[in-house]
Structure 1
Amino acid sequence: MSDSFLGDMFGARNRGGAAGSGQPWPMNNLWEAFDQLKGQFEQKTGGSRMAKGDVRAAVLTLLAEAPMHGYQIIREIEERSGGSWKPSPGSVYPTLQLLTDEGLITASESDGRKTYSLTVEGRAVVDADAPKAAPWESGPAKEGNRSGALAKAGIELAQAAAQVGRSGTPEQIGQATDVLAEARRRLYSILAQD
């Protein structure tokens, strides 16, 4: 992120002011800048896709621990992958149906929700695959963990900066600009370390 980007975002360049205030509005292009920043993080960190068999393996691995419903499975996979892999309902629910058809899991309904659990056959499949790492512990999900956490932190930082820009005083906005400039310098110093 260049100083000019920070300057543009926090009002170093006068691009117009708040109506009647005579002061430049510091966040005229905030949302455009935020979307651009978010897009850059997502492009660099969101490109890894898991293989089709990984959803199946993840579902079986999780159900070996405890019975779950579909959205619990999705949340667990996302949490265990550090946010780098969140399978869609369109991949999890067909997998659950397939595993049910194969006799590896069963579904029971309670309070309008289907809860899935392993059958004896399903447990045997999981036990046979026990030496293998869970899908979120290897491959694209693991590789994405580090960069996914960085992207999330960057987006959260941009959201905090946006909040300061929307509701902060000119002094607070100046302090925020200094903090972001220092953070940028410190990040580059990390790369410069041996």
Structure 2
Amino acid sequence: MSGSNMGDWFGGAGGSSRGSGQGWPIAGLWEAMEQLRGQFEQKGGTRMGRGDVRTAVLALLAEKPMHGYQIIQQIEERSGGSWKPSPGSVYPTLQLLADEGLIQAEESNGRKTYSLTAEGREVAGAAPEKSAPWEGSGTRDSGRTGALPKAGIDLAQAVAAVGRSGSPEQVKEAVAVLEDARRRIFSILAQD
């Protein structure tokens, strides 16, 4: 979105910016958001290697017992949002580790909490020099990861809200803020 066509995006070219999106190309904005998300994901996908879920589970359970949902949350949190394994990869891994005798499950209040067995502690501690998967380069944690696309998408959602229900004055003010933000962001790239 260059500054020259910002008015078109916000209904500034003769369209109304209030109400049910008249003059406001909501579909175009959502399409642009999806393109933005796609550009970030093309930089290097969020998939991790086959053994990374296993390594991550062992590393987390070495710290304390957890249930499956906690494991998923911790991986997402520690990777800065760039990696969130699906339950379809975590729960089979937990079952495999239990079958191997490396973890055990204890059920409480309808929820299984997993912890390392003695053998599991040996395996988890066998390679202390190996970093956890979320600490490696595979997680794309280089400024192009979770925080930046999330901030862009959050901004786009706020802009869409102003476009849907803001007054013409509010839309004009939002355009000014966005133009200033764009200049400031480009100035970051200009720094040494």
The correspondence of residues 1-194 of structure 1 with structure 2, limited to 5 A, is 1-14=1-14, 25-27=22-24, 29-45=25-41, 47-143=45-141, 146-194=144-192
Q: How far apart, CA to CA, are the structure 1 residues paired with 2:137 and 2:47?
A: 10
Q: How far apart, CA to CA, are the structure 1 residues paired with 2:52 and 2:60?
A: 12
Shift in alpha-carbon separation, 1:147–1:6, aligned structure 2, 3 A:
farther
Q: How far apart, CA to CA, are the structure 1 residues paired with 2:136 and 2:18?
A: 51
Report if the CA contact (8 A) 2:61-2:114 is conserved.
yes
Identity percentage over the alignment?
A: 60
RMSD over equivalenced CA pairs, Å: 2.1
Secondary structure of the corresponding residue to residue 152 of structure 1: helix
Q: CA deviation at 1:114?
A: 0.9
Quick one: higher RCO (CA 8 Å, sep 6+), 1 or 2? 2
Shift in alpha-carbon separation, 1:175–1:56, aligned structure 2, 3 A:
same
Q: CA deviation at 1:14?
A: 3.3
Shift in alpha-carbon separation, 1:16–1:162, aligned structure 2, 3 A:
closer
TM-score, scaled to structure 1: 0.88
Q: CA deviation at 1:147?
A: 2.8
Listed one character per residue, the Cα deviations across residues 56-76 of structure 1 (whole Å, up to 9, x for unaligned) are: 000000011111111110111
Listed one character per residue, the Cα deviations across residues 12-66 of structure 1 (whole Å, up to 9, x for unaligned) are: 22357878xxxx9452x12431332233223323623200100000000001111
Of 41-50 and 161-170, the range deviating more from structure 2? 41-50
Secondary structure of the corresponding residue to residue 128 of structure 2: coil
Report if the CA contact (8 A) 1:136-1:142 is conserved.
no
Listed one character per residue, the Cα deviations across residues 82-128 of structure 1 (whole Å, up to 9, x for unaligned) are: 10000011110110000000000001111111111000000001111
Shift in alpha-carbon separation, 1:82–1:18, aligned structure 2, 3 A:
closer
Give the unaligned 5+ runs of structure 2.
none
Secondary structure of the corresponding residue to residue 109 of structure 1: strand
Report if the CA contact (8 A) 1:48-1:144 is conserved.
no
**Bigger share in helix:** 1
Q: How far apart, CA to CA, are the structure 2 residues paired with 1:81 and 1:17?
A: 39
Shift in alpha-carbon separation, 1:12–1:151, aligned structure 2, 3 A:
same
Q: How far apart, CA to CA, are the structure 2 residues paired with 1:39 and 1:63?
A: 37
Q: How far apart, CA to CA, are the structure 2 residues paired with 1:39 and 1:15?
A: 25
